[in-house]
Amino acid sequence: KVKKFTEENKKRFVIYYLPSYSPKLNPDEHVWGYLKSHGLKDHQARSTLELKKLTLSKMKKIQKKKLLLKSFFYNSYVTQS
């Protein structure tokens, strides 16, 4: 079903096959790395809720920084067309 769907819709999107473990090729890993080293670096959450709120706040700030967002895709299979 997936192969058929992919073939029928190949003009709408592209599928990239990644190794099962490929953190250097995964933009999500770059986002988490940035958060750990910058946004959440000096914070010690006292509860899961506090950590969740802080993480969401920092991620919303990342959304507004287009160059930073683009940097997460640099050297990954996902590129701007």
Q: How many Cα atoms sit within 13 Å of 58 on the Cβ side?
A: 19
- Helix ranges, 1-81 (H): 2-8, 27-34, 48-63, 66-71
Residue 62 has which token pair?
A: 């990342």
pLDDT-derived band at 80, boundaries 50, 70, 90: very low
Is the dihedral angle over the CA atoms 76, 68, 57, 42 positive or is it negative?
Answer: positive
The predicted model gives 2-29 an average pLDDT of 84
Phi/psi at 39 (5° precision): -70, -35
- Give the pLDDT confidence of 56-68 residue by residue, as tens digits: 999 999 999 999 9
Statement: residue 78 has pLDDT above 80 = no
